[in-house]
Amino acid sequence: MKPDKSIVYLLAAAVGLWAVAAQAQEERSLTRAGNKSFDKGNYTDAEANYKKALEKKNNFPEAIFNLGDAMYKQKRNDDAAKQFQLSTKVLTDPKQKAQAFHNLGNALLEDQKYEDAVGAYKQALKLNATDKDTKYNLAYANAKLKQQQQQQNQNKDKKQDKKDQDKKDDKKNQDKKDQDKKDQQNKDGKGDQKDKKDDQKQQAQQPKLSKEAAEKLLQALQNEEQKTQEKMQKKQGKPVEVKIEKDW
- In tens, the pLDDT along 216-247 reads 777 777 777 777 666 666 555 443 333 333 33
Q: What is the pLDDT of residues 10-25, one digit of tens each?
A: 444 333 444 445 556 8
Residue 99: exposure state from Cβ atoms within 10 A (0-12, 13-18, ≥19):
buried
The residue-averaged pLDDT of 89-96 equals 96
Note if the pTM is more than 0.75.
Answer: no
Contacts of 49 (CB under 8 A, 6+ apart): 30, 31, 33, 34, 37
CB atoms within 10 A of CB 70: 26
Residue 247 DSSP class:
-
pLDDT, residue 180, reads: 84
* Higher pLDDT, residue 192 or 147: 147
> CB-based contacts of 150: which residues, under 8 Å, 6+ apart?
none
CA diameter of the chain? 184
Judged against a pLDDT cut of 90, whether residue 46 lies above it is answered with yes
Neighbouring C-beta atoms of residue 163, cutoff 10 Å: 10
Selected residue with higher pLDDT from 248 and 222:
222
Residue 117, pLDDT above cutoff 70:
yes
Cα distance between residue 75 and residue 68, in whole Å: 11
Strand (E) or helix (H) holding 6: helix 5-39
Q: Who wins on pLDDT, 187 or 70?
A: 70
Provide the pLDDT confidence category of residue 149 given band limits of 50, 70 and 90. very high
